[in-house]
């Protein structure tokens, strides 16, 4: 049995755990980062590469995404290795007049929040995306939408923190957590013990496995997204692409909830059953990522041919040229989703020094720099630059269900 002591123990080496670890290490804290599996084994390693401002609800999440984007600009040079950060802009394809009017309203509300986004006509869209399907009538366009390689980002956070003394322990998880006179004691399933002044639970979709050990729960449920990876091809166009339908599905989580396994209504189409939305991005290496579904299927991470067929048909519908392209891989990730679409960021009520930073669903990569910053502020007793009320861990009464 080995006993480790540190200032802060972080559970979960996903993008947010790594970002918090990096920020705290920079501030001179002795940090231990623990993962049940390995770096990026959960949602952070099974997602796409987009930092999409256009999909954020106007409000605090959009403001935090703005700040995150500024932080990425700094991280790009500050971190020791390349994170493939790029700002290519983003376009949301609009198929008909009904979607156009919904998107006009949405864009107006985003403009009021200071996001530079506009509706562009087909002629301008074709300049950005020459191979888009002929019947797409318009699109949104924001020059600020960006992308980053999540794996390289986690690796850079980890190596940067290691340089400042971080210890990373993979393949173990606590089986018991005890409160000490000052701090916390973790008993790991390897028999090792970790004593820390402060704990941070950044375990994403698995966050409840940790909080349960101190009799507290948060309503975080895994939401599955299936994605196709194509062979590397030359760029089709300039921007990353989504469909208006994807935004509608993301902004109205209640619609996706209806698709949970076992309660699908007979009238639902297969696309509705899988919570299908179009997200299409070209990676640095030339592979295209074609997503995605939004499904409630517990912790099942398998991909299935029916969903892959739907995603294939969808990309052919928006970019007919893609029918000639091969795909080489499919994967599914489990996004940590919450009932109100907001992550849990803060101290657990009644457990001083036990923090949680989980539940970002599809915004984890985009919000990781700001999450690292506000959590490091909370842990070190500084007032964060954003009001944290909306993210209170106790806002659902410490229970997993509603």
Partner 1 sequence: MDKDRAVGDEKYICRCEEVTEAEIREAIKAGARSVVEIKRWTRAGMGICQGRSCRRLVERILADELKLKPEEIELSSFRQPVRPVSIKAMDE
Q: Which residues bind partner 1 (CB under 8 A)?
A: 38-40, 45, 151, 155, 159, 162, 168, 170-171, 228, 230-232, 285, 303, 305, 308-309, 312-313, 315-316, 322-331
Task: For the chain, report the end-to-end CA distance as a whole number of angstroms.
Answer: 40
**Residue among 354, 360, 350 nearest 391 (CA):** 360
Q: Which is nearer to partner 1, 234 or 305 (CB)?
A: 305
Q: Which is nearer to partner 1, 105 or 306 (CB)?
A: 306
Q: Which is nearer to partner 1, 121 or 231 (CB)?
A: 231
Q: Is 57 helix (H, G, I), strand (E, B) or coil?
A: coil
Q: What is the DSSP string of 120-153?
A: EEHHHHHHH-TTS-TT--EEEEETT-EE--HHHH
Q: Which is nearer to partner 1, 321 or 390 (CB)?
A: 321
- What is the nearest approach in angstroms of partner 1 to the Cβ of residue 152? 9
- What is the nearest approach in angstroms of partner 1 to the Cβ of residue 85? 17
Q: Which is nearer to partner 1, 248 or 325 (CB)?
A: 325
**Residue among 14, 27, 15 nearest 165 (CA):** 27
- What is the nearest approach in angstroms of partner 1 to the Cβ of residue 349? 35
Contacts of 118 (CB under 8 A, 6+ apart): 107, 140, 141, 142
Q: Which is nearer to partner 1, 226 or 338 (CB)?
A: 226
CA distance 361 to 295: 12
- What is the nearest approach in angstroms of partner 1 to the Cβ of residue 19? 17
Q: Is 8 helix (H, G, I), strand (E, B) or coil?
A: strand
Q: Which is nearer to partner 1, 38 or 385 (CB)?
A: 38
Q: Which is nearer to partner 1, 170 or 190 (CB)?
A: 170
- What is the nearest approach in angstroms of partner 1 to the Cβ of residue 193? 21
**Residue among 186, 183, 179 nearest 210 (CA):** 186
- What is the nearest approach in angstroms of partner 1 to the Cβ of residue 158? 8
- What is the nearest approach in angstroms of partner 1 to the Cβ of residue 30? 18
Question: Are the C-beta atoms of 290 and 315 separated by less than 8 Å?
Answer: yes
- What is the nearest approach in angstroms of partner 1 to the Cβ of residue 4? 16
- Is there a cis peptide before residue 292, judged by omega within 30 degrees of 0? yes
Structure tokens at 331: 């994967």
CA distance 303 to 346: 34
CA distance 387 to 26: 23
- What is the nearest approach in angstroms of partner 1 to the Cβ of residue 334? 15
CA distance 343 to 336: 9
φ, ψ of residue 230 in degrees (nearest 5): -90, 170
Q: Is 181 exposed, middle or buried (0-12, 13-18, 19+ CB in 10 A)?
A: exposed
Q: Is 265 exposed, middle or buried (0-12, 13-18, 19+ CB in 10 A)?
A: exposed
Number of CB atoms found within 10 A of residue 22's CB: 30
Q: What is the DSSP letter of 6?
A: E
Q: Is 77 helix (H, G, I), strand (E, B) or coil?
A: helix
Q: Which residue, chain included where needed, has tokens 């992550």?
A: 343
Q: Which is nearer to partner 1, 318 or 396 (CB)?
A: 318
- What is the nearest approach in angstroms of partner 1 to the Cβ of residue 38? 5
Q: Which is nearer to partner 1, 108 or 309 (CB)?
A: 309
Q: Which is nearer to partner 1, 216 or 288 (CB)?
A: 288
- What is the nearest approach in angstroms of partner 1 to the Cβ of residue 35? 11
């Amino acid at each position: 049995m080995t006993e480790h002591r540190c200032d802060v123990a972080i559970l979960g080496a996903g993008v947010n755990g790594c970002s918090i670890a990096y920020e705290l290490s920079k501030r001179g804290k002795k940090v231990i980062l623990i993962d049940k599996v390995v770096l990026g084994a959960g949602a952070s390693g099974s997602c796409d590469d987009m930092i999409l401002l256009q999909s954020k609800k106007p409000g605090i999440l959009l403001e935090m995404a703005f700040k995150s984007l500024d932080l990425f600009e700094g991280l790009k040079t500050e971190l020791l290795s390349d994170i493939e950060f790029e700002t290519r802009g983003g376009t949301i394809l609009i198929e008909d007049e009904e979607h156009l009017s919904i998107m006009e309203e949405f864009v107006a509300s985003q403009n009021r929040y200071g996001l530079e986004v506009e509706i562009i006509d087909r002629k301008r869209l074709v300049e950005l995306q020459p191979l888009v399907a002929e019947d797409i009538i318009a699109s949104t366009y924001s020059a600020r939408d960006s992308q980053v390689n999540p794996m390289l980002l986690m690796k850079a956070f980890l190596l940067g923190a290691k340089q400042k003394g971080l210890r990373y322990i993979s393949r173990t998880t606590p089986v018991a957590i005890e409160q000490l006179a000052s701090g916390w004691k973790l008993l790991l399933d390897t028999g090792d013990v970790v004593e820390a002044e402060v704990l941070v639970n950044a375990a994403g979709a698995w966050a409840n496995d940790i909080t349960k050990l101190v009799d507290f729960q948060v309503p975080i449920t895994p939401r599955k997204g299936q994605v196709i990876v194509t062979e590397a091809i030359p760029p089709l166009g300039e921007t990353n692409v989504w469909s208006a339908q994807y935004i509608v599905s993301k902004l109205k989580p209640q619609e996706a909830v209806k698709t949970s396994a076992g309660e699908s209504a007979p009238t639902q189409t297969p696309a509705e059953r899988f919570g299908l939305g179009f997200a299409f991005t070209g990676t640095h290496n030339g592979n295209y990522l074609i997503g995605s579904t939004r499904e409630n299927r517990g912790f099942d991470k398998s991909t299935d041919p029916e969903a892959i067929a739907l995603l294939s048909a969808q990309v052919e519908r928006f970019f007919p040229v893609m029918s000639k392209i091969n795909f080489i891989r499919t994967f599914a990730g489990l996004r940590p989703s919450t009932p109100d679409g907001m992550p849990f960021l803060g101290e657990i009520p009644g457990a001083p020094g036990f923090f949680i930073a989980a539940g970002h669903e599809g915004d984890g990569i985009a919000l990781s720099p700001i999450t690292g910053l506000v959590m490091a502020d909370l842990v070190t007793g500084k007032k964060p630059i954003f009001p944290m009320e909306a993210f209170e861990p106790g806002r659902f009464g410490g229970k997993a269900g509603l």
